[in-house]
Amino acid sequence: MNAIEIRNLTKTFGEKRAVDGLNMTVPQGAIYGFIGENGSGKSTTEKCLCGLLPPSGGEIRLFGKDYREEEVRAHIGVLIESPGCFPNYSVWNNMKLQAANLGLGHADEEIRRVLHLVRMDGAAGNKFKNCSLGMKQRIGIAFALLGSPRLLVLDEPINGLDADGMRIMREVLTELSGKGCTVLISSHILGELEKIATHYGIIRGGKMLKEMTAEQLNADCPTYVALKTDEIEKTRDILQRTYGRADIDEQTGEIRVYGAYAEEVAKYLFGNFGIAVSEIRTAKISLEEYYINLMQEGRK
């Protein structure tokens, strides 16, 4: 069974089609990275599936049931924009208020559980206003986790976090996913997303451009040898002839050769042409590059 199945979702604001016939499939247990340019319709899609905005058309099923069913709604945790917290209240008291709003029983126990999950056990007494951005984002996730949701919807939760904040967030989401919670996370920090996502959906102009698993992305992102020499054009032409595909990366000034081994390329260039290689390494196309290429193809 899939956690989320969206068919032909449309959401219009006046003349504007923010979401335009979007399809999306998120398997249970996935960490689904939802990617797209600003204004492409990510937040609107998320708001529709969480019941925060009424769709103009289409079908949304969560765990095999219509998304409007009460029983389904109880299993969704949401963080869209920042959590509504009182700055002068402690983290604990903010959590208590949220738990009361939700009408949760065993509130203290539940709050301890979720604060532990987001690595905030020691910070319950801190005033919200004194928390770092990373802590505030994790409190938002703790809010969303009250009541043990089976699906967590997070809209850009890692924006503005420092390296440590990112690392903790990564650990938290991976742990939750390991416990069977499905996570839908939108972000444009693709380097981070790539470290945790098991599935991806790329949206453009309100339509799903591509959905794939991390394995499929991996297969679509070839490895290459990157090297630097003084005679860049000449070297590129030689490698192009020998290996079939060699490009110059304008930004780094490196030559990229696909389908080759670093050591073999260096020996070949020096042995046959006396070309010395100053730097050489093996690398792989990143999600970021894959995404940029996909967007550029779409514009042609």
Ligand X SMILES: Nc1ncnc2c1ncn2[C@@H]1O[C@H](COP(=O)(O)OP(=O)(O)O)[C@@H](O)[C@H]1O
Q: Please report, as ranges, the residues that interact with ligand X according to CB under 6 A.
A: 13, 16, 18, 36, 38-44
Question: Shortest Cβ distance from residue 157 to Mg ion (Å)?
Answer: 12
Pick between residue 42 and residue 138 the one whose CB is nearest to Mg ion: 42
- Site residues (vs Mg ion, CB under 5 A): 42-43
Pick between residue 18 and residue 99 the one whose CB is nearest to ligand X: 18
Contact between residue 261 and residue 295 where contact means Cβ atoms under 8 Å apart:
no
Contact between residue 65 and residue 5 where contact means Cβ atoms under 8 Å apart:
no
Pick between residue 44 and residue 177 the one whose CB is nearest to ligand X: 44
36 binds, among ligand X, Mg ion, none (CB under 5 to 8 A by kind): ligand X
Question: Shortest Cβ distance from residue 41 to Mg ion (Å)?
Answer: 8
Q: CA angle, 168 as apex, 187 and 4 as ends, to 5°? A: 45
- For residues 159 and 152, give the distance between their C-alpha atoms in angstroms, rounded to a whole number: 17
Question: Shortest Cβ distance from residue 38 to Mg ion (Å)?
Answer: 7
Question: Shortest Cβ distance from residue 145 to ligand X (Å)?
Answer: 22
Q: CA angle, 97 as apex, 93 and 103 as ends, to 5°? A: 140
Question: Shortest Cβ distance from residue 44 to ligand X (Å)?
Answer: 3
Pick between residue 80 and residue 257 the one whose CB is nearest to Mg ion: 80
13 binds, among Mg ion, ligand X, none (CB under 5 to 8 A by kind): ligand X
261 binds, among Mg ion, ligand X, none (CB under 5 to 8 A by kind): none
Pick between residue 15 and residue 70 the one whose CB is nearest to ligand X: 15
* Strand-pair partners of 223: 284
- For residues 54 and 18, give the distance between their C-alpha atoms in angstroms, rounded to a whole number: 13
Question: Shortest Cβ distance from residue 40 to ligand X (Å)?
Answer: 4
Pick between residue 77 and residue 206 the one whose CB is nearest to ligand X: 206
Sequence-distant (≥ 6) Cβ neighbours of residue 90 within 8 angstroms: 124, 125, 126, 127, 128
198 binds, among ligand X, Mg ion, none (CB under 5 to 8 A by kind): none
3-state DSSP of 183-248: EEEECCCHHHHHHHCCEEEEEECCEEEEEEEHHHHHHHCCEEEEEECCCHHHHHHHHHHHHCCEEE
One-letter identity of residue 116: H
Q: How does DSSP classify residue 127? A: B
Pick between residue 113 and residue 210 the one whose CB is nearest to ligand X: 210
- For residues 175 and 156, give the distance between their C-alpha atoms in angstroms, rounded to a whole number: 19
39 binds, among ligand X, Mg ion, none (CB under 5 to 8 A by kind): ligand X
16 binds, among ligand X, Mg ion, none (CB under 5 to 8 A by kind): ligand X
Question: Shortest Cβ distance from residue 45 to Mg ion (Å)?
Answer: 9
* Strand-pair partners of 5: 25, 61
